[in-house]
Amino acid sequence: MSPTSAIAIKGGHLIDPGTGIDAPKDILLKDGRVAEVAAPGKLKQAAGAQILDAKGLVVAPGLIDIHVHLREPGQGYKETIATGTAAAAAGGFTAVAAMPNTIPVNDSPEITRWMQSPERGASVRVFPIGAATRGSKGETLNDFAALKAAGCVAVTDDGHPILKDSVMRDTLAAASRVGLSVIQHAEDTRMTVGASMNVGPVAFRLGLRGMPVEAESGLVERDIRLVQDLRSDKVHLHVAHTSTSKAIEAVRQARRNGLRVTCEVAPHHFLLTDEHVGHYDTHCKMNPPLRSAADRDAMLEAIMDGVVDAIATDHAPHASHEKEVEFERAPNGITGLETALGLCLAWLHREAKMPLGRVLSLLSAQPAAVLGLRGRGTLAVGSFADVIVFDPNVEWVYRAAEGKSKSRNTPFDGWTMLGKVRWTVSEGRVVYGN
């Protein structure tokens, strides 16, 4: 379908956290943009448009995942930009921000452009995130202005935390000068040598070395001190995949002090604990690791309280042969794009009673705001025509083998999800229909 053809989504209940609309509305998409939002049956320019019947369904801004690993270039056997974005579309995401830990590392405008090229066959918008330092080695800063000009929306050395104070300070300052956010994977790797799960009784019982919570919170606290020292409201630190109560408290305090510090939490960190590792289930191995029940509860609480700015999946596909090994040898990470909405609706909305609009905001308007993605995460007229239509009441069982991702490394295989995506529209094109 060509992006110029118009689509009218009629009869649905529109929830747009960006504009505060929560009412029955029809919406018209034209030329890749939202052209009109009107009371049911009142669209004026819908003549000739393809009609999507959304009766009984929710119409909302397309979801935005600001932390995914698409594995291209270099590791197409795990995932490609085409398969990863197909998984995104199936999960209701219309934009994803791709981490730079590819092979080679995305530390250049060339790779950034290559990732966005039409030949990649992306179903939804891919926003590359550039490496903060050359090769993500934590030493020499990249040219942030050039990365931004090529399309990067933030910089990070995700997976390779920037430990040196001076390098992190320079990164924050240089990124702020060109208006980019700095995303930190907060882990003091000097405290996690040889560790493969959270420190605590479970790790002791399993005979595995544990990562202390201070390895995360200590680096968050250090980064916040650096932001404070720079004394500029243009400096923006975003804490990736926050997993500990201590780190959340540091972010909460930094915000009270007026600093621009944001954070995201992944579904597995507000749902699962280190007990879920069971007998060395490598689908429960990720970094940061699943934490104690107290930390898991704190993540849920922080989401409810509003300290958490976004839910991001840290979608990290790995081939099955890579996960079918000894726990300590298995790579970190799980897939997440196809389960995020179903888990958030089941556990945040239904169980924790979070209003639907807030859940959707954490998955769209707020992540868009974190990375400054203009015209995304809202259905205001003139915005990008990124829309999902879903049934909020349908329960279904997720089967990883039937997913769109190339990989199946998920602890949520066989879980009951709430809310089924009917259509995903990315920039005016229906990229997923069910």
Partner 1 sequence: MTAVRRKSNTPPVSASPFPYNPGSLLSVNDLSLDELNHILERATALEKQDPLTRDRILIKRRVALLFYEASTRTRTSFELAAKALGADTALVSNLSSSIEKGESLKDTGLNLRALGAEAIILRHSLSGGAWLLEESTRLPVLNAGDGMHEHPTQALLDLRTILAHLVPNSGKSVGKKVGPIAGPETLAGVTVTITGDILHSRVARSNMLLLPRLGAQVLLCGPKELLPEIAVAETPGVRIERDFEAALSRSRVAMMLRIQAERLAGLQLDLDEYKAGYQLTGERLARLAPKAVVMHPGPIIRGLEITGGVADGPQSAILEQVTHGLAIRMAVIERALGAGRTEKRV
Indicate which residues carry an active-site annotation: 314
- Binding partner 1 (rule: CB under 8 A), the pick from 145, 234, 280, 391 is 280
The reply on whether position 187 binds Zn ion by CB under 5 A is no
Q: What is the dihedral of CA 97, 99, 102, 108, to 10 degrees?
A: 80
The interface partner of residue 200, options being Zn ion, partner 1, none and the CB cut-off 5 to 8 Å by kind, is partner 1
> In the Cβ-directed half-sphere of 39, how many Cα atoms lie within 13 Å?
1
Instruction: Using DSSP bridges, classify how beta strands 387-397 and 416-426 pair: parallel, antiparallel or unpaired.
Output: antiparallel
Interactions with partner 1, residue window 242-271 (CB under 8 A): 249, 271
Q: Which of 301, 391, 395, 413 binds partner 1 (CB under 8 A)?
A: 301
304 near partner 1, judged by CB under 8 A: yes
Residue from 2, 20, 44, 193 in contact with partner 1 (CB under 8 A): 193
Decide: is 158 part of the binding site for Zn ion (CB under 5 A): yes
Report the nearest approach of partner 1 to the CB of residue 210 (Å).
Answer: 9
Smaller CB separation from partner 1, 165 or 324: 324
Q: Can residue 398 be called a binding residue for partner 1 (CB under 8 A)? A: no
Q: Pattern 310-339, binding to partner 1, x per CB under 8 A?
A: -----------x--xxxxxx----------
Distance CA 347, CA 344 (A): 5
What is the C-alpha to C-alpha distance for residues 245 and 217, in angstroms, rounded to an integer? 8
Q: Which region, judged by CB under 5 A, interacts with Zn ion, from 137-145, 185-193, 202-210, 356-364?
A: 185-193
Give CA–CA dist 276/202, Å, rounded: 10
- Asked if residue 185 binds Zn ion (CB under 5 A), the reply is yes
Q: Which does 165 bind (CB under 5 to 8 A by kind): partner 1, Zn ion, none?
A: none
Task: Give me the long-range contacts of 176-180 (CB less than 8 A, separation at least 24).
Answer: 176/230, 176/232, 176/234, 176/235, 176/236, 177/144, 177/234, 178/144, 178/145, 178/148, 179/148, 179/234, 179/372, 180/144, 180/147, 180/148, 180/152, 180/153, 180/154, 180/155
Binding site for partner 1 (CB under 8 A): 193-194, 199-201, 204-209, 249, 271-273, 275-276, 278-280, 293, 296-297, 300-301, 304-305, 321, 324-329, 347, 351-352, 415
